Chain A
Amino acid sequence: MFTLKQKLLHAGHHEVGDGHGGNGGEKSRAIVRKNIPMVEGKMSFEIFAEEGKVKSVKLVVEEPLRHFEAICEGHSAEEVAVIVSRICGVCPFPYALAASKAAEKAFGFKVSDQTYRLRELAIYGNMFNSHVLHALDLVAPRLLHLNSIIEFAVASPENTAVAAKLLALHTLGNDLARLIGGREVHSTTITPGWMTTVPKAEALKDVRDRLANAHETYDLLVNVFASISKDANPKLPIREREFIALRGEKKYPFYAGLIASSKGGVMDAAAFEQYKHEYVVDNSNSKQVRTDKSRSYMVGALARLNLNEDLLCDKARKDMETLGLSIPCHDPYMNTAAQLVEGRQVLVDVVKAIDELLAIGLHEEPRPVIVPREGYGAGYLEAPRGLIWHEYKYNGEGLVTWANCIIPTGMNTGSMQEDLEHLATHLLGDGATDETIGYDLDLLLAHYDPCNSCAVHVVRLNKKEEKRAFLAKEAKVAVVSLGNLIAGDDGIGHAVVEEIKHHGVEGNVDFIHGGVEGLTLLEDLAKEKYDAVYFIDAVDGLDHAGELVRFDGEELLAKAKKAGPKVSLHQNDFTYYFELARAIKLELPKTIVFYGVQAGQTEVGMGLTPEIDTHEIAHAIIHEIEDSHGSES
């Protein structure tokens, strides 16, 4: 068995001497922990100091890149739910659910009440097993300076009995997760639109009773954890931070709610989308996220607890007392304690939820018909480690054309980095030994419960890097004006295309003045094999001059058939050529978008009506092109 010191050495800890030959009193220090054990995935930290001052602190997520967003492209929503579940084997349910919710949002589908309730139960199961696992298998041995729960369990028959009793809680969480999700790791029932299998009432009753009777064992877990963490957690100065989590209305939220920030208030999905900003850092494979308000923020149990403390049950409050936790609490070393408080809340809420569901009665559901449509959807909920956010764009067949997954550890890496900086400075100033610093900071990261495999599927970066990264498969885009340059406002298309050209647009974009060409223009566009074509033309039938209308290819055809606003002002309606092109099986670009601008006057002559703001129109189109073709705003 290792002694503590050997363990530290084993984990890669070392000290280097003075690197620049000054007088012997000056010393540079390096405290490096490689491949931190008992966390999910590969993660390290490096602290360099000179003359007692911290020079650099680096959190490194070394788990190799995993390309998940690129993998999703071209797959249907139900396939994507299976794929992204494999981002994380520790908390797989929230991943499959985030993807399912995103698809439902994009396709305008609402799940049944029963599906909603079953999904809540699934999350309770995953939340409970993950929290117990973290406290019991990963953090407790660390606090006891042991190598694993097994080492604890085999030390004596008494230990074996205690370990077996506590591990039964973990098994219980897994049994609930398995009953609802089909399997405790990577659900076989969670998919967009429904739960493919509904559990039997008897089985649900059985697990309900076991959960209802688990409080006594759970007391033991809380008491054991409270006693071993009391003195083992270092007392360090606390840094105020921003917390972000779901905010519940009536009950403690995991599956649904608005997104709340301790600094930014309560937000809906659209507001949060604007509020958070992803970026990459050197020498780490994880993305990080900041907000409008802070360089980093914390998600997870402590964040949820800080933002939803008023919704806790009495039993959970009592655990807070036992564990020495009071809100507000900004101490990251209390995150595991917060997980245990949540575990208790789950035990109480899950029994209520099962009772409600049993009272309503379970019934088989037919497979729902979900009609896909082109568009964007974001899905979010709470995973054990914090808020999880998935967003996808789908084409008309419901296949993913763009994906972005922001996962809890990705959000927390920035917060961990900032804590490391803060605490390293303090510890060094305090004259702590390398061992102490190494141990304290290793423990800090462990309390965060990081999930590094999940954090490293970086493929979406800022615009410039993204553009470079995607050159290999960049879409070929054409922006085409239609209309007669010498017929007053019919020249609007020409003017807007010139404006876009002048401003510049990211991507592989050609600019074409189509004039009053019809079929020959479409033939030319087909020959060039454009992935996407944006037409801009003057239209009639809207309310006021300069008003903008947007149709995609399908809508355009539908409009042509109905007597809606007349599309295009040319003798032969442009939509006529579309139908013609399809009739002769011309291979048209996959994406066709038609922008129409209401004309003011179309008398012979150059120049536009003053009400028409070509600048604004051009920017709307630039935005769409950049958003749709491999760029992230």
Chain B
Amino acid sequence: MSKLEEYIARALRGDKPTLVYAELGSCDGCSMIIVNLDAVLLDLVSVFDIKQMRIAMRGVYEGPIDILMLEGAVTCEEEAEELRELRKRADYVVAVGACAALGGIPGMAPSFAVKNAQDGKFGKHVQGQGPMAPRPVHEIIRVDAVIPGCPIDTANTVRAIRVMLAGGRPDYSDRPVCMDCALKENGCLLLEGRACVGPVTKSGCGARCPSSNNFCWGCNGLLPDAPIDALFAIADIHGIPIEEVKRKLRMANQRHFTLLEEKKEEK
């Protein structure tokens, strides 16, 4: 039986697929995108049984989970342990947003700050949490799908939920943000001498920030084999300091580079 058939059969019995939305270290901005669906959310609950979502409802659910949506980066051992437990109960796990998918902004935490937290140098904060370098969910547990973005895109999210309901895997094309800028006939920030990491970033957001005349900082994640050197070369030609491009690359994607550096050091 396909997932869809199974869900339909269950729905007919009044047994809707269960959804748990759990938050790790994050700003709750992705939760807000879902809460902001307002009337659409009321529609969604006719197909899903939302069992847990801290920001919007009371109660902790302990039964089996059909779809587990995870927002936020893993920032401490306590969260990692919770995750492993959740994974055991969950059929399908979705990393929601840049923090869960990439490490995102929390993944920028410099190692000295994390070390100081581990050493308890920030005073006697909550004991026993075991602070760790913030990292994406897939470094701790297996992830079945990703909804990218910081925050997630409203249309992407609704589409992803539909696809998951049909038993599919929401996926995004690996085309660069530049492609969407071109389609929208936006001007190019790089050509104007402004730093932008659109050329090495996956789209799926419709080039959201450049369409607002603001720089792309890579929140959907880097393209596979991202042509970073080419980006530096373009920047250089247009008089943009490479350091500035590097800084912007090291926002949402900092964790990616940290891991690369750690690997290099090991060698």
Chain A residues close to B by CB (< 8 Å): 2, 7, 10-11, 35, 37-41, 60-67, 70-71, 73-76, 78-79, 82-83, 86-90, 92, 129, 133, 137-138, 141-142, 146-151, 153-154, 160, 163-164, 167-168, 170-171, 174, 182-186, 188-189, 191, 196-197, 280-285, 367, 453-454, 458-459, 461, 465, 468-470, 472-473
> Which residues of chain B are within 8 angstroms of A153 by Cβ–Cβ distance?
42
User: How distant is the Cα of A92 from the Cα of B150 in the complex, in angstroms?
Assistant: 12
Give chain B nearest CB distance to A191 CB in angstroms: 6
A74: shortest Cβ distance to chain B, in Å?
A: 7
Distance, CA A65 to CA B78, complexed state (A): 12
List residues of chain A with CB within 8 A of the CB of B31.
89
> Residue among A63, A64, A88, A171 with the most chain B CB within 10 A?
A64
The complex places the Cα of A459 from the Cα of B122 at a distance, in Å, of 6
Interface contact A64-B123, CB-CB below 8 Å:
no
Closest to A70 in B: B113
A-B contact pairs, 23 of them (CB 8 A): A37-B59, A40-B55, A64-B25, A64-B131, A66-B25, A79-B251, A89-B27, A137-B56, A138-B56, A142-B58, A147-B57, A148-B57, A150-B45, A174-B38, A183-B208, A185-B29, A185-B151, A188-B209, A196-B214, A197-B214, A453-B25, A458-B123, A470-B112
Q: How far is the CB of B215 from chain A (nearest CB, A)?
A: 7
A37 touches B125 (CB 8 A): no
Shortest distance between the CB of A404 and any CB in chain B (Å): 14
Instruction: Choose among B29, B108, B112, B129 the residue that contacts A89 (Cβ–Cβ < 8 A).
Output: B29
Q: State A150–B33 Cα separation when bound (angstroms).
A: 16
Query: Within 8 Å CB of B166, what residues of A?
Result: none
B58, B105, B126, B134: the one within 8 Å of A147 (CB): B58
Q: A66-B106, A285-B126 are in contact. Are A35 and B42 (CB under 8 A)?
A: no
Enumerate chain B residues within 8 angstroms of A188, measured Cβ to Cβ.
208-209, 211-212, 214
Take A41-B28, A76-B247 as given contacts and tell me if A86 and B122 are in contact as well, using a CB distance cutoff of 8 Å: no
B90 within 8 A of A: no
Question: Nearest Cβ in chain B — how far from A71, in angstroms?
Answer: 4
Given contacts A7-B59, A133-B35, contact A196 B122 (CB under 8 A): no
- Report whether A64 and B42 are in contact in the complex, using a CB–CB cutoff of 8 Å: no
Given contacts A67-B113, A148-B58, A185-B151, contact A75 B247 (CB under 8 A): yes
Q: Could you say which residues of chain A place their CB within 8 Å of the CB of B45?
A: 150, 154
Contact check: which of B27, B42, B113, B211 meets A164 at CB < 8 Å?
Answer: B42
Number of interface residues of B (CB under 8 A): 65
Contact partners of A10 in chain B: CB under 8 A: 58-60
Which residues of B are found within 8 Å of A61, using beta-carbon distances?
126
Q: Nearest residue in B to A165 (C-beta to C-beta)?
A: B39
B68 at the interface (CB under 8 A from A): no
A-chain residues with CB within 8 Å of residue B194 when the two chains form the complex: 367
Residues of B within 8 A of A469 (CB): 116, 121-122
A-contact bits for B150-174, CB 8 A (1 contact / 0 none): 1100000000000000000000000
Task: Write out the residue numbers on chain B whose beta carbons fall within 8 Å of the beta carbon of A160.
Answer: 42
Q: Which residue of B lies closest to A149 (CB)?
A: B56
Asked if residues B125 and A197 are in contact (CB atoms below 8 Å), the reply is no
Closest Cβ neighbor of B125 among chain A residues: A285
